Amino acid sequence: MFQLLLDSAAGSSYVTVMRIQRNIIGMLCLLLFLLSTVCFSGCSSTKPLTLRRYSKNIIVRKDRTIFLEQEQIDFKNLKHELVTRLIGTSTPITIHFSKDIPQSLADKLVGKLRQEGFKELEIVDFRE
């Protein structure tokens, strides 16, 4: 009789463990699905060009032309171009890079702006 009780208790705990494992596996699959969905949607979330209102906008297009708002500016005289348009070094600047430009050009532009004293820079990529 006692052995029968032990066997039924062991069977019951075995069923409980199996249910717990199944629930954990189900939750892990759901978590993996949600994580992969967020990753794939976030990795390709390059958006169209949207200019910021709270800062001045520098746009670098895929043909490597540089614009301040709607006016084309010269990379070599970048600081002069910005200062003549009344943009001080403390003015927030958002740099919009086309997703098709080389990383080296983006690094060069950001480095030049920082070297010339512009501190408040935000970097955004966009698709054309």
For the segment 7-28, what is each residue's pLDDT rounded down to a tens digit? 555 556 666 656 777 777 777 7
- Chain mean position to CA 53: 20
Which residues, at least 6 apart from 54, have a Cβ–Cβ distance to it below 8 Å? 92
Rounded CA gap, 27 and 48, in Å? 36
pLDDT in tens, 32-89: 666 666 555 444 456 777 777 888 899 999 999 999 888 898 888 888 888 887 777 7
Rounded CA gap, 71 and 114, in Å? 21
